[in-house]
Structure 1
Amino acid sequence: MASLTYSSSPAQSNHSTELRIVLIGGRESNGGLKGKSSAGNFILGQNVFNTSRRTAQSEAKQQEVFSRRVTVVDTPGWWWVYPREDTPKLDQIEIQNSVHLCPPGPHVFLLVIPVSLHLPELVKASLKQHLELLNADVFSHTIVLFTAVAPCSDEEIEFRIRRNPVLQWILQQCGNRKHFLNISNREDRDQVKKLLEKIETLITNNGFRHCSVDRSQGETLRKEM
């Protein structure tokens, strides 16, 4: 398991001037516009991440968003139902490396889940194994980000959650923190503003701590290749 450390920043107001975000999650067999890269583009308001191909390397982009300097790191996805041992070592290294691309470390992890995606029981073990690349406590710094390319009411999202025990479990691990983005509606920037406010609330509740991973863990993975 990776060694994730937490560092406290000086006292800040509830309105942070800098937000560092790492996008994590599985991948869909048909790709599409509802994944991590599309979510990153939506948050930053520009097409800075390539959505036409699979993300093979972690990549950081930065933009000014609602008077905040926002850094978003996109990461390789894993197959939702496969164990970590089936994820290429290079992808695992890139996931670990993601936290080093937004120094001194991310404030929050956004676990991106398309609303339409059905999550079977196998997802629980896979998710836990892949997040161990970061730390067992990573859930306390995570918000579930539901994505779609069409309007979706709160009632519909809650209905899908009630019908899927795995989604319920994931949300429980993350303190029931969640947000929804209709990625197709680029003009509705209020969605992003509300997300940033939720991130700032999480940062405050976590004592303004950011996260960092011991680089030696990546070296261990490289030696296993």
Structure 2
Amino acid sequence: HPQSKHQLWPPFLPSCHLSEIRVMLLGARGSGKSSAGNTILGQGGSFEVRRRTVQWMVGAGDVAGRQVTVVDTPGWWMNYFSQDSPVFDRHYTLSPVSLCSPGPHALLLMVRVDRSFTGTYRRAVQEHLELITDAVWAHIIVLFNFGDWLGDTTIEQHIESEGEALQWLVEKCGNRYHVLNNRSNSGFQVTELMRKIEELMSFNSSSYCKIEGGILQEKRREEQKRAGERLTRRQKQRETARSLLGELNQSLSKWELYCPSELRIMLLSGRNTGRSSAGNTILGRGTLK
């Protein structure tokens, strides 16, 4: 296969052997974080994979001669931007940092190779990751999950074929990536991942990912400010509507206020957002197919 520009990493640096490795799994819901955690820990993995992770989970074990701690986090909605994600999820995405104190050696960003990586998802990933720390990109390794789906296609070919969104992400992470096949019993893929984490530490001069509380507090204050402004705008809209309705009632005091006998509405949104359920609620006993 022709060489790709994405084969530049890992750098030719002497890797430091770590006796302890702390990693945090990040990604969208359904990206396979829990499965990846079990694959990394091997027999020591005990993450629940049949239900959605709603709070942080911690697993630990001996992996390739290293004591490895894996923190699994709740995922964000794949196509939701950070301001649209529930506060619960954003809070619990950040809380696990204290569980691998003083900080994770690497942040493993889960990306499924069996799903298209769109520009909208790219923006969602960027906004959620930058909630953690401004220096987050220096500590990320893109972990391509469900590697068995690739077949004979190399990961470099996959990155090129997906287009600009995925290429941007890989390059933003310094061309650091690894493929994980959760159906494989081979320990080589996990040993290779440990080696890449050690090389990442060498590249960062043995600096782990530090979460500064001041940054998080500032971001939360900004979110609270925007939420307050949104509430104020909504209240002004309601006051304006009441005022207009009052003027309309006065102007039609000699006439009966027009009330249409028929209303037609259209429900619009993306897939799986509950349009049919909302229609059923509006219609009461009526049902939508």
1:80, 1:218 → 2: CA distance?
25
**Aligned counterpart in structure 2 of residue 42 of structure 1, from 21, 39, 57:** 39
Query: Which amino acid is 1:24 matched to?
Result: L
1:13 is displaced (CA, Å) by 7.1
Q: Does 1 or 2 have the higher relative contact order (CA < 8 Å, sep 6+)? A: 1
SS in 1 for 2:37: helix
1:220 is displaced (CA, Å) by 7.2
In percent, how many aligned pairs have the same letter?
40
Query: Which amino acid is 1:27 matched to?
Result: R
Q: Structure 2 unaligned runs (5+)?
A: 1-13, 228-289
1:25, 1:214 → 2: CA distance?
21
With structure 2 as the length reference, what TM-score do the two structures score? 0.67
Q: Structure 1 unaligned runs (5+)?
A: 1-11, 29-33
Aligned to 1:75: 73
Query: Which amino acid is 2:113 matched to?
Result: V
Query: Which amino acid is 2:19 matched to?
Result: T
1:117, 1:159 → 2: CA distance?
15
Q: Is the 8 A contact 2:58 2:69 kept in 1?
A: yes
Aligned residues: 208
SS in 2 for 1:150: helix
1:172 aligns with 2:174: no
Query: Which amino acid is 2:173 matched to?
Result: C
**Max radius of gyration: which structure?**
2
1:163, 1:13 → 2: CA distance?
31
Segment of structure 1 superposing worse, 18-27 or 144-153: 144-153
Query: Which amino acid is 2:50 matched to?
Result: S
Superposed CA RMSD: 2.3
**For the structure 1 residues 50 and 205, does the alpha-carbon distance in structure 2 shift closer, same or farther, using more than 3 Å as the test?**
same
Q: Which has the higher helix share?
A: 2
Aligned to 2:11: none
1:220, 1:140 → 2: CA distance?
20
With structure 1 as the length reference, what TM-score do the two structures score? 0.84
Q: Per-residue displacement from partner, 1:14-45 (whole Å, max 9, x unpaired)?
A: 111000000001123xxxxx600000000000
Q: Is the 8 A contact 1:81 1:126 kept in 2?
A: yes
